[in-house]
Amino acid sequence: MDLHTYNHARRTPEKIAYKLVPSGESVTYQQLEARSNQCAQLLRREGLMRGSVIAILMENHPRYLEIVTAADRAGLYYTSISTQLTAPEASYIVQDAGAKILFVSKAKFSLGKAIAELVPGLTVFLVDGAADGARDYLAEREACPVGPISDESQGAPMLYSSGTTGRPKGVKFPLPDARIDEMDGLTGLAVDWFGYNPDMVYLSPAPMYHTAPLRWSMSVLKVGGTVIVMQKFDAEESLRHIQDERVTHSQWVPTHFVRMLKLPEGVRESYDLSSLQLAFHAAAPCPVPIKEKMLDWWGLIIHEFYAGTEFNGLTAIGPQDWMTHKGSVGPAVFGKIHILSEDGEELPARKEGLIYFEGGNAFSYHNDDEKTRSAYNDKGWSTLGDIGWVDEEGYLYLTDRKSFMIISGGVNIYPQEIEDAIITHSQVADVAVIGAPDDDLGERLVAIVQPLDWSEAGDALATSIQEHLKGQIAKMKIPKQIDFMKEVPRHATGKLYKRHLRDAYWQKVKS
C-alpha cells in the first residue's frame, strides 16, 4: 500500500483529503501536498529543525491537518492544545513543551495573545490572516516553495497527559528513524484491525486537539482515504453526515452513543446509514446496555479499543467477540498484557491488579524523569496506572481508570488541579473531587467540600466556589455539583479516602 500525501497527490490529485462540515470547505490531496510542503519550508526558514516543537491552538479548522502534516514530514514534534484551557494552563504546556511557534485561529486569537504574553520569545502565526500581535500564516506560507524540504523525516505528536502534581506532562516518543512514506505502528494497526484503505470515508466528530481524533485522522490521510471533520458534534447532524458523505468508518466516545440514542426513534430511523462498514470507540468505558442498543441499531460493526496517549500497548475487540465477552475491551493486539499486584507479582486470571504492557512503544514524560521511571517496572514493562483483570482467554476488563481520573464526555479530567484551586477559597477547609455516574456524560464532576464554618454550607457557598474557579481552570473542569461534608475523610498520613467517597455515589445507582 502506497502511503503519504505525495503519493496520493500524484495518483489522485483531485481526491478530497479532508472536508469540514457543515461549512463544506474541502482540501484535495494536491492542495494538501502543496500547502504542507510550503508550511514545512516556512518552519525550516524559521529555524525549526528535526526534534523542534510547534504548538497548535485551534478549533476544528481547515488549516489543522495541513499544519500537522507539515510537522509530520519535517521531523517535528507537534503539541495540540485544548481550546477549553485558560491562558495560564495553556501557556504552561507551550512553555513546558519548548514550542517555538504557536499556530492559532482567529476564533482563539485572544487566548493565543494571552499565551504569548506569558511565554517570552514565542512566535505566533494567525492562520486566518493578519492581526496585531501575530504574523500572517497564509501570506508567509504562500511565499514559500511548493516543493518538499531537502531533509524530510517523520515527526511525532507530543500530546499532554496528567503529571504527578496535577500538572499535565507531555507524552514523548523517540522520533521514527524512517522515511516519511514508511508504515508507522498506529497506521499498521488501523489497516490490519480497522480496515483502513484508500477508499474509506472517515467521520471524525470530536475536537482534533484530542489524541484519538488527531492520530486516527492522520492515519486516514496516510493511506489515502477521506476525512470528514465535524466542526462541532451534534447527534442528528452526525447521522446526516454519515448518510450524505457515505461514511464508511467512524470513531466515537460513549457519550456520543448516548446522545444519538436519545434522539426520537423516528429521527434515528430516517437516516440511511448503510454505507457505514465499521465504527470504533474508546476514551471511556461504555455501559453494556448502551453498547447493546447501539449494536441493535447499527448492527455488528462496532469495535472497541483500549489504549492511552502513551500508546504502550493496545487491546481491541470486535462486535462478535464482545457479545460473548460483554464489558471487555479485548485481548492485546499490540504489546503483551500483565496484571500485577501492588508488590509487583503477576496475578492469575480474574484477579484485579495494575495493568502492564510488555513489548509496546517506548515513551517518556517530557521534563518528568520521576513520572517516567514510575511508569516502568524492573522488567521494562510499562503501565498507565489503570486497574483491571484478564479472563482465561486473555480478554482484558477495566475496573478503574487511572485510579481516580474522571472521564466526562470522553474527556480525561484530573481532580488534583481542581482540588488545588478550590482549597484556595477562603471559606474552604478541605475538598475532594470525584466522578459520579451520569447517564449522559458517563461521569460528572462532584466537589465534596468541608467548609471552615459548617453553618455556611449551602447554595451561596457553592456559587461562590464556582465563581472563584473561573479564570483559574477551564470551564469544563468547574464542578456543577458541590456537596458538603462536615469532615472530608483522610488517613493520618493525609491521604484522602477518595475511593470511599466515590463508591458512595456509585453505590446509589446500584441500590
pLDDT of 206-264, one tens digit each? 999 988 899 999 999 999 999 999 999 999 999 999 999 999 999 998 878 888 988 99
Q: Whose grid coordinates read 516502568? A: 376
Give the model's pLDDT for residue 492: 41
Residue that is last in its domain, among 179, 210, 232:
232
Model confidence band, residue 170 (pLDDT cutoffs 50, 70, 90) = very high
Half-sphere exposure of 471 (CA within 13 A, CB side): 4
Q: Domain residues for 443? A: 407-510
Whichever domain contains 464, its CATH number is 3.30.300.30
Give the model's pLDDT for residue 481: 96
Whichever domain contains 197, its CATH number is 3.40.50.12780
Instruction: Flag whether 142 is in a domain.
Output: yes
How many contiguous H segments (helices) and E segments (strands) does the chain have? 17, 27
CA distances from 104 to 46, 90, 412, 414 (A): 17, 12, 23, 26
Instruction: Flag whether 306 is in a domain.
Output: no
Model confidence band, residue 284 (pLDDT cutoffs 50, 70, 90) = low
pLDDT tens per residue, range 393-440: 999 998 755 567 788 888 878 777 788 888 888 898 888 899 999 988
Question: Over 21-60, what HEC string results?
Answer: ECCCCEEEHHHHHHHHHHHHHHHHHCCCCCCCEEEEECCC
Mean pLDDT over 320-328 rounds to: 96
Q: How far apart are CA 105 and CA 64, in angstroms?
A: 9
Q: How far apart are CA 433 and CA 415, in angstroms?
A: 5
pLDDT tens per residue, range 38-67: 999 999 999 999 999 999 999 999 999 999
Give the model's pLDDT for residue 407: 84
Instruction: Flag whether 281 is in a domain.
Output: no
CA distances from 282 to 142, 225, 256, 489 (A): 39, 21, 11, 33
Instruction: Flag whether 92 is in a domain.
Output: yes
Residue that is last in its domain, among 217, 232, 247:
232
Q: How far apart are CA 41 and CA 63, in angstroms?
A: 16
Give the model's pLDDT for residue 424: 84
Give the model's pLDDT for residue 231: 96
4 with 181: CB under 8 angstroms? yes
Give the model's pLDDT for residue 352: 87
Burial of 483 (0-12, 13-18, 19+ CB in 10 A): middle
Model confidence band, residue 164 (pLDDT cutoffs 50, 70, 90) = very low
Instruction: Flag whether 141 is in a domain.
Output: yes
How many domains does the chain fold into?
Answer: 2
Half-sphere exposure of 487 (CA within 13 A, CB side): 4
Instruction: Flag whether 353 is in a domain.
Output: no
Nearest to 165, CA basis, from 371, 411, 365: 371
Among 85-94, 127-136, 262-271, 424-433, the range scoring the smallest mean pLDDT is 424-433
Give the model's pLDDT for residue 165: 43
Question: How does the average pLDDT of the chain come out, rounded?
Answer: 92
Q: How far apart are CA 216 and CA 68, in angstroms?
A: 13
Mean pLDDT over 461-478 rounds to: 94
CA distances from 99 to 73, 121, 238, 269, 445 (A): 17, 10, 34, 47, 32
Q: How far apart are CA 124 and CA 111, in angstroms?
A: 11
Model confidence band, residue 166 (pLDDT cutoffs 50, 70, 90) = low
Instruction: Flag whether 243 is in a domain.
Output: no
Q: What is the DSSP letter of 74?
A: B
Residue that is last in its domain, among 232, 260, 286:
232
Per DSSP bridges, beta strands 382-390 and 396-400 are antiparallel
Instruction: Flag whether 437 is in a domain.
Output: yes
Task: Tally Cβ neighbours within 10 Å of residue 177.
Answer: 8
